[in-house]
């Protein structure tokens, strides 16, 4: 079983709600989970297994609660050296080119930091799925079973 750190980027609480439900699901599965909604670089460095769950705001922007954290990651580039990661991107395809942009950028950043993806980027489109957790929880179960 794994120690999983969930980093959540949220504006109105959608991603927070999904992250809390993901935490419960993962704990049911026997994992230990810590959820960070105001993360700092040491939280990231200490994480063994990283899961980002983030929405996109503005025009392809990061939610303010992780904006500076992401900027610090880009400045400091704390390498992951093969640590496992996954990313869930909540977005809305009616935003066109900026659809799920924050999640896409996090996924790319984790690759640049030499993390090992345990799954492809999971995108949930609010235009198609009203309750994101209905898509995310089965995905979590599959991805974190292995
Ligand atoms: C003001 C605003 C701007 C948004 N901008 C984008 C965007 O650029 N790209 C995108 O994919 N979704 C965008 N969205 C959709 C949100 O990412 C989506 O509704 C998400 O579920 C919100 O989750 P949250 O409550 O955790 O922030 C935007 C939503 C709002 C209200």
Cα dist from 145 to 27, 55, 57, 75, 116, whole Å:
12, 24, 31, 34, 16
Average pLDDT over residues 11-21: 98
- DSSP characters over 8-51: EE-SSSHHHHHHHHHHHHHHHTT-EEEEESS--HHHHHH-SEEE
Structural tokens at position 77: 């580039």
Structural tokens at position 81: 């050296």
Cα separation, 91 vs 101, whole angstroms: 8
pLDDT in tens, 36-67: 999 999 999 999 999 999 999 999 999 999 99
Atom 29 of ligand 1, residue of closest alpha carbon:
57
Percentage with pLDDT > 70 across the chain: 99
Average pLDDT over residues 10-20: 98
Atom 27 of ligand 1, residue of closest alpha carbon:
11
Q: How far is the CA of 17 from the centre of ligand 1 (A)?
A: 14
CATH of the domain at 14: 3.40.50.360
Q: How far is the CA of 6 from the centre of ligand 1 (A)?
A: 19
Index of the ligand 1 atom closest to the CA of residue 16: 26
Cα separation, 59 vs 41, whole angstroms: 25
State the residue range of the domain holding 98. 3-143
Index of the ligand 1 atom closest to the CA of residue 99: 11
Mean pLDDT of the chain: 97
Q: In the chain, how many domains are there? A: 1
Q: How far is the CA of 28 from the centre of ligand 1 (A)?
A: 29
Cα dist from 44 to 53, 72, 112, whole Å:
14, 11, 15
Cα separation, 14 vs 66, whole angstroms: 15
**pTM confidence score:** 0.98
CB 32 within 8 A of CB 1: yes
Quote the pLDDT of residue 146: 62
Quote the pLDDT of residue 109: 98
Atom 30 of ligand 1, residue of closest alpha carbon:
57
pLDDT in tens, 130-143: 999 999 999 999 99
């Amino acid at each position: 079983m794994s120690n999983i750190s969930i980093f959540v980027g949220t504006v109105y609480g959608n991603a927070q709600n999904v992250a809390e439900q993901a935490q419960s699901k993962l704990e049911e599965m026997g994992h230990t989970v810590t959820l960070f909604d105001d993360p700092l670089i040491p939280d990231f460095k200490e994480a063994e297994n990283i899961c980002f769950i983030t929405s996109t705001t503005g025009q392809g922007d990061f939610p303010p609660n992780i904006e500076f954290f992401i900027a610090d990651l880009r400045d400091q580039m704390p390498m992951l050296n093969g640590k496992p990661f996954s990313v869930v991107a909540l977005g809305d395809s009616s935003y066109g080119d900026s659809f799920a942009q924050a999640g896409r950028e996090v996924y790319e950043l984790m690759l640049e930091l030499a993390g090992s993806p345990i799954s492809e980027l999971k995108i949930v489109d609010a235009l198609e799925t009203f309750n994101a957790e209905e898509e995310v929880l089965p995905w979590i179960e599959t991805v974190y079973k292995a």
